[in-house]
């Protein structure tokens, strides 16, 4: 009879331990029972980048990296991108089910009526230097919102929590658009409640002197689809920050600001900006083989390729490629597309990429679409942060309501000096330091 347990033999002592497997997994805390002496600390799991450590149990998003599958609450991403709006998907991620018609119209109404920023927040944004990066402005402004909404600290009050979730989702596009207008020196455009989430964002970004901005429906739908694709991605770097900051019971504005910081890095949300820089550096399609050689020599990385979890084609990249065709019908083809397609073609055939299972990820094509729609590269990560706020908040709420949650506090393996005293501070021999 098979048992849902794992037996470990400690070869130092010859002792045998049997641990339960929960959903097929070992609780690493159980390893602490493995000791060589009663006062020994016990064995820990050492996993610096969480390569094989689950930090929570979650019902929100499923990724099967080997098969290239992504699902929100059980629904395939392909179907959601085809049939739903971003706000519908936001409701799904937060509440576990797709909304009824009434729930959806109330939800859209609620979000629409929380898009305005307090005037002091607008003035706060005005204080940034003319050349401030919009992602840094967004991060700081989100953090500053906790000075405006003091009720945000009541994180265990369901109504208060809902109110601040709505505020964050509603105000992200407004802050993002203001950050952009600030960096261009344009006057801010207030939200327009007659418009959809994506259209309103476009209106706040691009309306100039016309009395009413009319968004191109194909481009507005493309932005909505991109928002759906970026809404959640289970325990990625920034979501881990969101849960980690939230585990100390900090308010959601502080936690989202932390998550935005994590997302801003080039190995995470900043990758699509890097893809465009890379495509600029490569230039015409004919230069692609030489660039691939540089990547294989370890001189640089192929940005927009590879993923910690996907070891197959990222399903979001496939949908984005399709969306790109629709966008380019309206805007004309982005000249960098030829180079990108050639990079993908060669990389997918090359042994270096095939053996390492490096496929295009979501960022490979998203930057090309964003650029064609009219966004500057420094806005790309901001465009990622807007929809990902929904995923962060869904994960944060799930974490708060999970009875197993405790403050996130990893252990370390100390590798520094043993005890020494200040009185004996002679220069140690080099070998001694290295030992
Ligand atoms: C996403 C990423 C950080 C995942 O990193 P990871 O899971 O730690 O994977 P590793 O860095 O261990 O990579 C495994 C191997 O593939 C190589 N590799 C990974 N991504 C690569 C890339 N984009 N270009 C070239 N080689 C790459 C590594 O050099 C390593 O090779 P080695 O075994 O010879 O040392 C990484 O693939 C990357 O930096 N990609 C580019 C940035 C990007 O597009 N980020 C967006 C993610 S959505």
CA dist., res. 267 & res. 274, Å (int): 9
CB of 293 sitting under 6 A from ligand 1: no
Q: Which among 232, 246, 239, 237 has a CA at the least distance from the CA of 401?
A: 246
433 has a pLDDT exceeding 80: no
363 carries an active-site annotation: yes
Least confident span in 43-47, 99-103, 175-179, 263-267: 263-267
Q: Cα 298–302–305 angle (5° rounding)?
A: 125
**Segment 306-325 mean pLDDT:** 88
Which residues partner with 15 through β-bridges? 10
Helices (H) and strands (E) in the chain, counts: 18, 6
CA dist., res. 372 & res. 327, Å (int): 8
177 sits in which H/E element: helix 158-184
Q: Pick the catalytic residue: 30, 133, 268, 350?
A: 268
Confidence label for 428 from pLDDT (cuts 50, 70 and 90): low
Tokens, residue 132: 């401030």
Q: Which residue has the tokens 């991109």?
A: 226
**What ligand 1 atom has the least distance to the C-alpha of 269?**
46
CB 344 within 8 Å of CB 324: no
Q: Pick the catalytic residue: 224, 232, 251, 363?
A: 363
216 has a pLDDT exceeding 50: yes
CB of 305 sitting under 6 A from ligand 1: yes
Tell me the per-residue pLDDT of 399-427, one tens digit each, with 9 for 90 and over.
999 999 999 999 999 999 999 999 866 66
CB 340 within 8 Å of CB 328: no
268 carries an active-site annotation: yes
CB of 219 sitting under 6 A from ligand 1: no
Contacts of 392 (CB under 8 A, 6+ apart): 238, 239, 242, 255, 256, 259
1 has a pLDDT exceeding 80: no
> What pLDDT was estimated at residue 313?
84
307 C-alpha to center of ligand 1: Å?
Answer: 6
Q: Which among 322, 394, 403, 395 has a CA at the least distance from the CA of 365?
A: 322
Q: What is the phi/psi pair of residue 8, to 5°?
A: -125, 135
Q: Average pLDDT over the chain, rounded to whole?
A: 93
Contacts of 125 (CB under 8 A, 6+ apart): 117, 137, 141, 175, 178, 179, 182, 188
For ligand 1, atom 17, name the residue with the nearest CA: 356
133 carries an active-site annotation: no
For ligand 1, atom 37, name the residue with the nearest CA: 306
DSSP secondary structure letter of residue 308: S
Which residues partner with 21 through β-bridges? 26
CB of 362 sitting under 6 A from ligand 1: yes
For ligand 1, atom 34, name the residue with the nearest CA: 356
Q: Which residue has the tokens 């910081």?
A: 261
**What does pTM read for this prediction?**
0.91
| 5 three-class SS | strand
**What ligand 1 atom has the least distance to the C-alpha of 301?**
24
Q: Which of 237, 303, 306 to mutate to test the pocket of ligand 1 (most atoms within 8 A of CB)?
A: 306
> What pLDDT was estimated at residue 429?
56
DSSP string, 291-306: HHHHHHTTSS--TTB-
CB 93 within 8 Å of CB 390: yes
């Amino acid at each position: 009879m098979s048992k849902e347990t794992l037996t470990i033999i400690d070869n130092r002592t010859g002792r045998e331990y049997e641990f339960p497997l929960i959903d097929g997994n070992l609780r690493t805390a159980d390893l602490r029972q493995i000791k060589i002496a009663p006062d020994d600390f016990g064995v820990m799991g050492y996993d610096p980048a969480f390569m094989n450590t689950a930090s929570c149990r979650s019902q929100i998003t499923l990724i099967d990296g080997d098969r290239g599958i992504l699902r929100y609450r059980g629904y395939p991403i392909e179907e959601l991108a085809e049939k739903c709006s971003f706000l519908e998907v936001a409701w799904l991620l937060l509440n576990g089910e797709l909304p009824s018609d009434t729930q959806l119209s109330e939800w859209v109404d609620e979000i629409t009526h929380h898009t305005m920023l307090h005037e002091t927040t607008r003035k706060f944004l005005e204080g940034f230097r003319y050349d401030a990066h919009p992602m840094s402005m967004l991060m700081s402004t989100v953090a500053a919102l906790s000075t405006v909404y003091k009720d945000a600290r009541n994180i265990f009050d369901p109504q208060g929590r809902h109110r601040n979730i709505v505020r964050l989702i509603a105000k992200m596009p407004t802050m993002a658009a203001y950050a952009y207008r600030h960096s261009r020196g344009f006057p801010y455009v207030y939200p327009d409640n007659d418009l959809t989430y994506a259209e309103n964002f476009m209106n706040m970004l691009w309306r100039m002197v016309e009395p009413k901005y009319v968004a191109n429906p194909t481009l507005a739908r493309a932005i909505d689809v991109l928002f759906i694709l970026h809404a959640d991605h289970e325990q990625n770097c920034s979501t881990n920050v969101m849960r980690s900051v939230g585990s100390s019971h900090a308010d959601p504005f502080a936690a989202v600001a932390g998550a935005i910081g994590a997302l801003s890095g080039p190995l995470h949300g900043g990758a699509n900006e890097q893809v465009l820089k890379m495509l600029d550096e490569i230039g015409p399609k004919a230069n692609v083989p030489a660039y691939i050689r540089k990547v294989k020599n370890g001189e640089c990385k192929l940005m927009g390729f590879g993923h910690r979890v996907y070891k197959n084609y990222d399903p979001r990249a496939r949908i984005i490629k399709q969306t790109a065709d629709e966008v380019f019908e309206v805007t004309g083809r982005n000249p960098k597309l030829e180079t990108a397609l050639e990079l993908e073609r060669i990389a997918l055939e090359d042994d270096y990429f095939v053996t390492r299972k490096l496929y295009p990820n979501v960022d490979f094509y998203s930057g090309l679409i964003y650029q064609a729609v009219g966004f500057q590269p420094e806005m790309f990560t901001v465009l990622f942060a807007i929809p990902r706020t929904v995923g962060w908040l869904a994960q944060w709420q799930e974490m708060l309501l999970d009875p197993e949650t405790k403050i996130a506090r990893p252990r370390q393996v100390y590798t520094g000096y043993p005890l020494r005293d200040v009185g004996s501070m002679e220069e140690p021999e080099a070998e001694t330091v290295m030992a």
